[in-house]
Chains A and B, each alone.
Chain A
Amino acid sequence: MKAVGTKAVEMMTEVTGEPRVPLGERVLMKGNEALAEAALKAGCRAYFGYPITPASEITSYMARWMQVEGGTFVQAESEVAAINMVFGAAGTGTRAMTASSSPGISLMSEGVSFLAAAEVPCLIVNVMRVGPGLGGIQPSQSDYFQATRGLGHGDFRVIVLVPANLQEMVDLTFEAFSLAEKYRTPVLMLADGVLGQMMEPVTFTRVIDPASMPEPEWATTGASGRPKRVVKSLYLDTGELEEHNVALQQKYRRIEQAEVRWNTYDLDGARILLVAYGTSARVAHHAMELAEERDMPVGLFRPITVYPYPYDALREVVEERGIEHILVVELSAGQMVEDVRLAVEGRCPVSFFGRSGGTIPAPLEVLDAIRNVAEGLPTARAASKKGGAS
């Protein structure tokens, strides 16, 4: 009798010899596949997932290639199972991840809380689709509150990375695993349907061999010959639990000090500042260039982490550049507006332009919103960037 799965093994053997994605070359890849490839090259050796549009290609790519890399792939029976499998695998110190889209991430939230409490590093990817509820499968950024505030019960945060193009998504995937291990925390890659589904050239520059990584001193790898290690989130003693919570909060303060990332564009002479992340930052960037061609004084501030949020950096840009008005652009009803307001503390008005329900605004729509803001600016300063900052 032929062994079950022989054909699959043959296929794997056949493909093992191929340089799947060579280093140092520009390759055209779909966002989800580029992310999965980046995770494999970053030494991820355990993937657990349940397919959902628009994130499914991550799971299918891992199904094809994870075992070739000598890792473990399981298509879980549900998202709840997937995140708990991540808990188990990552608890051994293996680089582990899962990926889903909005409703699936909601299902995972209990497990994420457990991972954060037990201080287990992992990567979680949310390729956001439109909600609420089952909503639809079109791109969206409406899980911002969930990602930055409520990814589970209890007093915890996860680092949230928000790439705006596929190369950045690839680079941040490597970074995500490093950050997760440095702080022993889950890290969330918050992408959206555009980034997941689009193709763009990317270049991979390195491969991390998991065998070269030292075993973490907390990982449960078998206690033979050494004292046992415990990875847990249950503390029945209230004193001990408060100590644990205080320690977690101290960790979050360290993350807020050290790991804030952002980028700025065309701030010279800007009076209006666009604030946007991910796909909406790309649309906003295009709109900014159109506005500049029409002599409107516009710049762009793009968070790359939304937890920790670049509060200080944004406030400094507003103060140092004399920004008179902020326009937040999002594929949501304006969830990030709250963080922008916390950052600027009333120093200038904050307006919002966004589309929801899966509609992506064209740059010209954002340009109209910029024009409305520009028309409301006092005319004392020349309506041109050349007028310079005061």
Chain B
Amino acid sequence: MLGRRLEIIIAGFGGQGVMVMGQLLAYAAMDAGLQVTWMPSYGPEQRGGTANCTVVISTGDIASPIVARPHVAVAMNTPSFEKFEPRVVPHGVLLVNSTLVPERSHRTDIDVFYVPAVEVAAKLGTEKMANVVMVGAMAAATGALPLNALQKELMHFFEGPKEKLVEPNRRAMRHGFGLIPREDRHGPYFVVASAGDLGA
């Protein structure tokens, strides 16, 4: 059986760290004992070009790692917003990097969160942490995986001399989590099966 699934597409410019965002989820899902696949869009790589990755997390075996209509989409730039906003399944979640994306969704059948990820990251020290801020916000808005589980996986990306960057990134993720108002936060997706779940 395929089990309970959560399908996530994260998209943005090359260089914004969208692949790392997906990998943070993938590592945390694996360590939580879940099945997971991470699939990048790949192409002639270019800083500033568009990039996205698809993460599927499941309590059972994952058949297709390919997703046409995700439960959750994260748009780090305007082309990604335009491409994936219409594809989110009804009752799904869309997170928008509102520092760079001026557009607003007109959909009423999904939950949309406008997260000023770049602005918040800049205030915390560097815009480069916008991706991690957004992962924190996604954790709060979807309940995909616990914040502390995701923070723990930062170590994979900052080894050796870069290890000192783990702590600022932990903080950035927590700030991102805090950007989602308490009443809008989603309970743990893979523990409690409640009504109004993400289109599963």
| Interface residues, chain A, with chain B CB atoms under 8 Å away | 26, 28, 53-54, 137, 193-194, 197-201, 282-283, 285-287, 289, 360-365
Q: Which residues of B contact A289 (CB under 8 A)?
A: 1-2, 63
Q: Which residues of B contact A201 (CB under 8 A)?
A: 30, 35-36
1/0 contact string of B87-124 vs chain A (CB within 8 Å): 00000000000000000000000000000000000000
B159 CB, min distance to chain A CBs, angstroms = 11
Tell me the complex Cα distance, A362–B44, Å: 23
State whether the Cβ of B64 lies closer than 8 Å to any Cβ in chain A. yes
B10 CB, min distance to chain A CBs, angstroms = 14
Q: Which residues of B contact A363 (CB under 8 A)?
A: 63-64, 66, 68
What are 29 A-B pairs with beta-carbon distances under 8 A? Answer: A26-B30, A28-B27, A28-B36, A54-B42, A137-B44, A193-B42, A194-B39, A197-B42, A198-B37, A198-B39, A198-B65, A199-B23, A199-B37, A199-B39, A200-B37, A200-B65, A201-B30, A285-B63, A285-B64, A286-B63, A289-B2, A361-B66, A362-B67, A362-B68, A362-B69, A363-B63, A363-B64, A363-B66, A364-B69
Q: Which residues of A contact B43 (CB under 8 A)?
A: 137
State whether the Cβ of B38 lies closer than 8 Å to any Cβ in chain A. yes
Query: In the complex the two chains form, is B64's CB within 8 Å of A200's CB?
Result: no
| Interface residues, chain B, with chain A CB atoms under 8 Å away | 1-2, 23, 26-27, 30, 35-40, 42-44, 62-69
Query: In the complex the two chains form, is B35's CB within 8 Å of A283's CB?
Result: no
Per a CB cutoff under 8 Å, which of A28, A54, A193, A194 touches B30? A28
Tell me the complex Cα distance, A297–B44, Å: 42
Tell me the complex Cα distance, A28–B62, Å: 15
Tell me the complex Cα distance, A361–B65, Å: 11
If A194-B39, A199-B38 touch, does A283 touch B64 (CB 8 Å cutoff)? yes
Lowest 3 A-B CB distances belong to which pairs? A362-B68, A286-B63, A285-B63
Residue of A nearest to B39 (CB): A198
Q: Which residues of B contact A198 (CB under 8 A)?
A: 37-40, 65
Query: In the complex the two chains form, is B66's CB within 8 Å of A362's CB?
Result: yes
Tell me the complex Cα distance, A28–B19, Å: 14
Instruction: Given contacts A26-B30, A200-B37, A286-B63, list 17 more A-B pairs with CB under 8 A.
Output: A28-B27, A137-B43, A137-B44, A193-B42, A194-B39, A197-B39, A198-B37, A199-B37, A200-B38, A201-B35, A282-B64, A285-B63, A285-B64, A289-B1, A289-B2, A363-B64, A365-B68
Tell me the complex Cα distance, A194–B30, Å: 19
A52 CB, min distance to chain B CBs, angstroms = 13
If A194-B66, A198-B65, A201-B30 touch, does A286 touch B39 (CB 8 Å cutoff)? no
Q: Which residues of A contact B69 (CB under 8 A)?
A: 362, 364
If A137-B43, A199-B23, A289-B2 touch, does A283 touch B38 (CB 8 Å cutoff)? no
Main SS of chain B's interface residues? loop
Q: Which residues of A contact B66 (CB under 8 A)?
A: 194, 282-283, 360-363
Tell me the complex Cα distance, A287–B43, Å: 27
Query: In the complex the two chains form, is A286's CB within 8 Å of B37's CB?
Result: no
Q: Which residues of A contact B35 (CB under 8 A)?
A: 201
Per a CB cutoff under 8 Å, which of A194, A199, A362 touches B26? A199
Residue of B nearest to A288 (CB): B63
Residue of A nearest to B42 (CB): A197
Q: Which residues of B contact A54 (CB under 8 A)?
A: 42
Tell me the complex Cα distance, A26–B36, Å: 12
Residue of B nearest to A290 (CB): B2
Tell me the complex Cα distance, A362–B63, Å: 11
Q: Which residues of A contact B26 (CB under 8 A)?
A: 28, 199
Tell me the complex Cα distance, A199–B23, Å: 9
Tell me the complex Cα distance, A289–B2, Å: 8
Query: In the complex the two chains form, is A282's CB within 8 Å of B63's CB?
Result: yes
Tell me the complex Cα distance, A198–B56, Å: 11
Residue of A nearest to B65 (CB): A198
Query: In the complex the two chains form, is B2's CB within 8 Å of A194's CB?
Result: no
Most buried by B among A26, A193, A200, A364: A200
Q: Which residues of B contact A287 (CB under 8 A)?
A: 64
Per a CB cutoff under 8 Å, which of B36, B44, B65 touches A282? B65
Q: Which residues of A contact B37 (CB under 8 A)?
A: 198-200
If A137-B43, A197-B39 touch, does A364 touch B68 (CB 8 Å cutoff)? yes
Q: Which residues of A contact B38 (CB under 8 A)?
A: 28, 198-200
Q: Which residues of A contact B36 (CB under 8 A)?
A: 28, 200-201
Q: Which residues of B contact A283 (CB under 8 A)?
A: 63-64, 66
B61 CB, min distance to chain A CBs, angstroms = 8
Q: Which residues of B contact A364 (CB under 8 A)?
A: 68-69
Q: Which residues of B contact A26 (CB under 8 A)?
A: 30
Residue of A nearest to B23 (CB): A199
Residue of B nearest to A281 (CB): B63
Tell me the complex Cα distance, A197–B23, Å: 13
B90 CB, min distance to chain A CBs, angstroms = 14
A364 CB, min distance to chain B CBs, angstroms = 6
Tell me the complex Cα distance, A286–B67, Å: 11
Tell me the complex Cα distance, A26–B1, Å: 21
Tell me the complex Cα distance, A194–B44, Å: 16
Tell me the complex Cα distance, A94–B52, Å: 40
Tell me the complex Cα distance, A363–B5, Å: 14
Tell me the complex Cα distance, A250–B68, Å: 47
Q: Which residues of B contact A193 (CB under 8 A)?
A: 42
Q: Which residues of A contact B65 (CB under 8 A)?
A: 194, 198, 200, 282
